[in-house]
């Protein structure tokens, strides 16, 4: 640290006046000695612990280890809570509140006497929310993920979060398992602290934290209950103190290079489509130029190397024992698919961090020349059904459906789908294309994870396992199928998706990146003239939901609120009362 640089926290603690008394004295009620206010780095530990966010329920322990590290390095740690978003409990969808939580994070960091911050993130939306908020302040920052749960096991089989929830609920609907078995599997699936242990959104985003250089090596996969997770937290606590001294800010880590590395890593792990939205929103906070087409272009030459559910058969615990994300990053780097000199939070380059990584199980992490799935980057589809793009994850789709023309069976809302899907009289067969409207950012609101619509029971009983499904919704990262998502503009905003009618022909051609509705422009114009926006969803007349619906951007822009794009920095007015 330059001996002349005065830390930000000294604007609070360094004052020798009435305000300095306030700032120090009230904290001294905790027993902090005077030397804690002497100009040493003050580190905020931004905690999303909550009993309503079960995936983050061990974060008090992680925070303790960060504190030990900060103290060992001569810093002053102060833990603070922010809004926590529990994917399984929060209605209507945690995504509705990602941007709200990011505002909480941003203002909590900026308004307090902090020089650096450690973000504790786990359940899906807590990761982008904290990264986005911190990015808009731009202090030295390290991200720590909570780590995945231990593998689920039931009747001798691995069962994975979400993935087997979906398959077992289909089995229950098809009468293949009993309700008692269904209940028994609940406690067999989730048997330790941590987040979902499939390559769902939480594991994907934890991998993004590491691939972006925002996390310590190993961040993506160390199980939540493995002591090495605590060790990582402790090292991060030590390291953030040095980052403050060296004034290495989050904007110096999250460069265009970092995002390109993350996009390639996303393809290498066959990660969740949700990462597209979150990375776009994060880049928007930083002013980094990034768009959906970057995901398609950069991911095209990349193979999926990891054999993890929902695309594969193993789980995150296996991934860690096989060497974890550093092996994937090393393999990408050896193919020239990674910016080796990207800066990471531990002070070393990306290549320094991963060049020694070894693979201990080639079944779990495949070699690049024997990939688990070839050319598996996320594909961005365009066409008159999605002029601003739509997303599909080919690695989770059925190969025989990647080029299909079928007649549309349209559901105007998720309620409409639930009301009719179990009706044996529904006019649908396995060659139909299911279309769901009004589940996008404004339409739902919050863009629920309902894009992987349940298949009609009458087709399940015939053994149909997958069908083409198209919507403006998102899909859980733990889900799978030939599912086209994030159609933009969404139906509720007047996109052509709103104009699709039963029986229209639709062509999906993933190789050509095409999503076409076989209805001519004149007919579309006629339909548009007759179209009326759907009834506003529940509770969108006031409060945060109104703010969200009024200002949320479309999926191709990351679904951030339009006024949150960019960063305000860390300066705050001096308090003079």
Contacts with ligand FES by CB under 6 A lie at 55, 87-88, 123-124, 161, 195-196, 200, 202
Sequence-separated (6 or more) residues with CB below 8 Å from residue 543: none
Q: Which residue lies nearer to ligand FES by CB, 150 or 359? A: 150
Residue with tokens 């990471």: 344
CB of 196 to ligand FES, least distance (A): 3
Q: Which residue lies nearer to ligand FES by CB, 475 or 491? A: 475
Q: Which residue lies nearer to ligand FES by CB, 55 or 233? A: 55
**Do residues 47 and 81 make contact, with C-beta atoms less than 8 angstroms apart?**
yes
CB of 123 to ligand FES, least distance (A): 3
Does an H or E element contain 353, and which? helix 350-354
Q: Which residue lies nearer to ligand FES by CB, 220 or 468? A: 220
CB of 57 to ligand FES, least distance (A): 10
Tokens of 475: 């899909």
Q: Which residue lies nearer to ligand FES by CB, 196 or 447? A: 196
Does an H or E element contain 382, and which? strand 379-383
Burial pattern 64-74, b for ≥16 Cβ within 10 A else e, equals bbbbbbbbebe
Cis amide bond preceding 92, omega within 30 = yes
CB of 121 to ligand FES, least distance (A): 10
Please report, for residues 59, 222, 258, 331, 542, the alpha-carbon distance to residue 304 in angstroms, rounded to integers and kept in the order given: 31, 20, 19, 11, 44
Integer Cα distance of 2 and 497 in angstroms: 57
Residue with tokens 């691995």: 158
Residue 240: closest CA among 146, 144, 134, 142: 142
CB of 324 to ligand FES, least distance (A): 18
In degrees, rounded to 5, the angle at the alpha carbon of residue 277 between the alpha carbons of residues 405 and 224 is 115
Q: Which residue lies nearer to ligand FES by CB, 188 or 402? A: 188
Q: Looking at the chain, how many residues does it have?
A: 577
CB of 442 to ligand FES, least distance (A): 24
CB of 543 to ligand FES, least distance (A): 25
Q: Which residue lies nearer to ligand FES by CB, 165 or 353? A: 165
CB of 474 to ligand FES, least distance (A): 13
Q: Which residue lies nearer to ligand FES by CB, 12 or 480? A: 480
Residue 540: closest CA among 554, 525, 555, 550: 550
Integer Cα distance of 543 and 139 in angstroms: 30
CB of 165 to ligand FES, least distance (A): 10
Could you tell me what percentage of the chain is helix, strand and coil, using 3-state DSSP and rounding each to the nearest 5?
40, 15, 45
Count Cβ atoms within 10 A of the Cβ of residue 271 and give its class: 0-12 exposed, 13-18 middle, 19 or more buried: buried
Cis amide bond preceding 319, omega within 30 = no
CB of 357 to ligand FES, least distance (A): 25
Residue 439: closest CA among 505, 518, 495: 495
**Do residues 451 and 483 make contact, with C-beta atoms less than 8 angstroms apart?**
yes
CB of 215 to ligand FES, least distance (A): 16
Q: Which residue lies nearer to ligand FES by CB, 263 or 316? A: 316
Q: Which residue lies nearer to ligand FES by CB, 202 or 212? A: 202
CB of 164 to ligand FES, least distance (A): 13
CB of 146 to ligand FES, least distance (A): 9
Please report, for residues 50, 171, 182, 569, the alpha-carbon distance to residue 176 in angstroms, rounded to integers and kept in the order given: 36, 5, 11, 56
Q: Which residue lies nearer to ligand FES by CB, 202 or 479? A: 202
Residue 144: closest CA among 54, 75, 205: 205
Integer Cα distance of 279 and 318 in angstroms: 26
Count of Cβ atoms closer than 10 Å to residue 181 Cβ: 14
Q: Which residue lies nearer to ligand FES by CB, 57 or 438? A: 57
Residue 491: closest CA among 437, 421, 561: 437
Q: Which residue lies nearer to ligand FES by CB, 203 or 554? A: 203
């Amino acid at each position: 640290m330059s001996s002349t640089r005065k830390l930000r926290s000294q604007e609070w603690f360094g004052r020798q006046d009435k305000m300095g008394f306030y700032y120090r004295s009230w904290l001294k009620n905790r027993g902090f000695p005077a030397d804690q206010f002497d100009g040493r780095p003050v580190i905020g530990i931004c905690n999303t612990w909550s009993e309503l966010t079960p995936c983050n329920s061990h974060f008090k322990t992680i925070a303790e280890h960060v504190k030990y590290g900060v103290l060992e390095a001569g810093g002053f740690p102060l833990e603070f809570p922010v809004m926590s978003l529990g994917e399984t409990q929060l209605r209507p969808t945690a995504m509705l509140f990602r941007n709200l939580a990011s505002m909480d994070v941003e203002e909590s960091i900026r308004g307090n006497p902090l020089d650096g911050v450690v973000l504790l993130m786990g359940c899906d939306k807590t990761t982008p929310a904290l990264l986005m908020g911190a990015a808009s302040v731009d202090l030295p920052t390290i991200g720590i993920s909570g780590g995945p749960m231990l593998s689920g096991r039931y009747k001798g089989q691995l069962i994975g979060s979400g993935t087997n929830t979906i398959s077992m609920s289909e089995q229950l609907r098809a009468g293949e398992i009993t309700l008692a078995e269904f209940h028994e599997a609940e406690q067999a699936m989730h048997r330790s602290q941590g987040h979902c242990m499939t390559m769902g959104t939480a594991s994907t985003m934890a991998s993004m934290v590491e691939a972006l250089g925002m996390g310590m090596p190993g961040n993506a996969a160390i199980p939540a209950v493995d002591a090495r997770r605590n060790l990582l937290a402790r090292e991060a606590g030590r390291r953030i103190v040095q980052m403050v001294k060296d004034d290495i800010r989050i904007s110096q880590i999250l460069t265009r290079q970092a995002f390109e590395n993350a996009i390639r890593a996303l393809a290498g792990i066959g990660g969740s489509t949700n990462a597209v939205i979150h990375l776009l929103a994060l880049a928007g906070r930083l002013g980094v130029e990034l768009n959906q087409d970057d995901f398609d272009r950069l991911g095209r030459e990349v193979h999926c190397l990891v054999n993890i559910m929902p695309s594969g058969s193993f789980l995150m615990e296996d991934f860690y024992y096989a060497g974890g994300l550093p092996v994937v990053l090393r393999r990408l780097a050896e193919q020239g698919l990674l910016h080796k000199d990207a800066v990471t939070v531990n002070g070393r380059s990306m290549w320094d961090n991963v060049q020694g990584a070894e693979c201990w199980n080639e079944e779990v992490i495949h070699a690049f020349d024997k990939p688990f799935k070839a050319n598996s980057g996320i594909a961005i589809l365009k066409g008159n059904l999605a002029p601003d793009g739509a997303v599909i994850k080919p690695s989770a789709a059925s190969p025989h459906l990647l080029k299909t023309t079928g007649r549309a069976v349209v559901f105007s809302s998720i309620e409409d789908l639930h009301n009719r899907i179990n009706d044996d009289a529904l006019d649908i067969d396995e060659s139909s294309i299911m279309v769901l409207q009004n589940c996008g950012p404004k339409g739902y609101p919050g863009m629920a994870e309902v894009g992987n619509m349940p298949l009609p029971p009458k087709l399940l009983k015939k053994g149909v396992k997958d069908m083409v499904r198209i919507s403006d919704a998102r899909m859980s990262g733990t889900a799978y199928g030939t599912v086209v998502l994030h159609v933009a503009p969404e139906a509720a905003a007047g996109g052509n998706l709103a104009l699709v009618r039963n029986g229209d022909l639709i062509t999906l051609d993933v190789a050509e990146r095409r999503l076409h509705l076989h209805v001519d422009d004149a007919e579309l114009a006629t339909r548009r003239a007759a179209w009326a926006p759907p009834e506003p969803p529940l509770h969108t007349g006031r409060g945060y939901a109104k703010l969200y619906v009024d200002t949320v951007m479309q999926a191709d822009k990351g679904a951030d609120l339009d006024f949150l794009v960019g960063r305000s920095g860390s300066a705050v007015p001096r308090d003079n009362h």
